[in-house]
Structure 1
């Protein structure tokens, strides 16, 4: 299978490309290599991909999906059958500081990809959404059948917009689309702006860590291998129309069109302080903790209902936090020689 993966130099994109290449697919990876975080890490991921696959099965293009003409050329010349869109401006907090970046990548860029898929008979578009879409919803665990009309950050609003835009194209053009709401992804080669990376780096360096909401957060931490397995199974299982869907009582998780959304989470929320204590145990050092108030746009707790994912693709994430943190710290020590 020929697959286009956007955001190929990113955390999830890198791991997804490795998986697809290992099973024999041909992959075209694109990324704009922006400097939201260390570009050297992104380039190291690409080197790993290029060294691990033959040139006829992996090709990388530096490309910004917000560039309409570049995306049109990509689809015209790509000859791929399915698309996974992981390219996006990430981060809840950064969306407060730099909202324009989110509109450019997450809205304009996604629109360009939808148009490419529409005009080039793509069999299936799978795209990254986020647990952030649940916003002010306080019903736990979060279910795809819940209303998600109250986002708390522009980042979350753009991800909800992606789901709505995808539905429009699924309805108008019968383009099969699947949105995946990721829950706090972590693991080797992870993003430097995420908690596990920040905490590990600072604890090893003897520097304090900032812990928001005075440490009372609970998060559904989901290991990267579990995320990738869910993405691939969703990609292979093309979205279809739900014959039981009715507009008189519309289900937010499915449609009369070939459109659907799934949570991908571990389904077992962990107290943030427990998470930190696990890092301390693996690293072998105590953290110096600065307790701080809740940040704007943040939510106190996330928890994924993954019943729909399991029913559709016969998979449920199962990596424990202890296993995942140990694998990350092992990678971090080796990669940074600490």
Structure 2
């Protein structure tokens, strides 16, 4: 297939592009290479497959509608995976406009291009952060998500609403994936696994928020990519059992779906740190601090719907995943 991937120099996007190329797809990647974190990491990710004969790369911002439309016209994608976004909860407290431009303006440009380009299926990144102030565990797609606690979360919920509108009005098949904490090789420097690895390797103290009482549904990147590909291949259809008198947030009478994609096995943050220390061969001080604004205490993905519909089955244990991440970290940063 011809698959257009946005955020193709990002953590998940680059891993996805590499897997799609390996199975024989043509891939057109779009990324703006911004400096939210060190762009050299993005260049290194891209270097793994940039010379592949079936790969084309465009440096452009999704908020530039003309650039997006030209890319769609040139490549004529059959399917699209939109992973480009301004990421991060805490950064949204300082720079809200960045989220409006990337996550709202950029996303409507993708929706419009998919609409006019007759795209067969749009898969896009939502986030576990949409569950916001919810406390029922595990988080299920049937749960209401009307109480976001960060602008980032609100922008991701807005993406789901925007996608449904296009599915309803224009019969555009869309599937949103609510990513839970993704980790692994080539991960983002602003996320806790990389921050922990940096500090532990230097013997520096770690700031641990909520006094160490966090748990996270850590999910290894290879399991996430497998789920994204299975979802991409499973085009969203109208739900024949949809009941407008008792609507489910995860389905619709339109060709629309939303799924959780996670490991379904929450891990205590202190256990995750202990595994990092074990594989890095060093123990460091933990500074226990209060909860940060915009953060949530726990996350836990109910992935039963994704298991049922596409056969999603994450199988990387936290022990194996952390070991692989640390091995990559040491190799990459020693170079």
Partners of 1:301 and 1:316 lie apart in 2 by 22
CA contact (8 A) 1:203 1:288 kept: no
Q: Which runs of 4+ in 1 moved over 4 A?
A: none
CA contact (8 A) 1:306 1:316 kept: no
SS at match of 1:129: strand
Aligned to 1:5: 5
Aligned to 2:37: 37
Aligned to 2:169: 172
SS at match of 1:214: helix
Partners of 2:38 and 2:88 lie apart in 1 by 15
SS at match of 2:147: coil
Aligned to 1:89, which of 86, 89, 104? 86
Partners of 2:47 and 2:273 lie apart in 1 by 31
CA deviations over 1:257-315 (Å, ceiling 9, x no partner): 00000101100101110110011111110022111110001000000001000000012
Aligned to 2:278: 281
Aligned residue pairs total 335
Aligned to 2:192: 195
Shift of 1:31: 0.2
Which runs of 5 or more residues in structure 1 are unaligned? Answer: none
Aligned to 1:240: 237
Partners of 2:50 and 2:68 lie apart in 1 by 22
SS at match of 2:50: helix
Partners of 2:214 and 2:176 lie apart in 1 by 26
Shift of 1:49: 1.4
CA deviations over 1:85-120 (Å, ceiling 9, x no partner): 000000011101100000000000000000000001
Partners of 2:49 and 2:321 lie apart in 1 by 22
Aligned to 1:50: 50
Aligned to 1:64, which of 61, 66, 69? 61
Aligned to 1:252, which of 236, 249, 254? 249
Which runs of 5 or more residues in structure 2 are unaligned? Answer: none
TM-score in terms of structure 1 length: 0.98
What are the within-5 Å matches in structure 2 for residues 95-244 of structure 1? 95-244=92-241
The Cα RMSD (Å) is 0.8
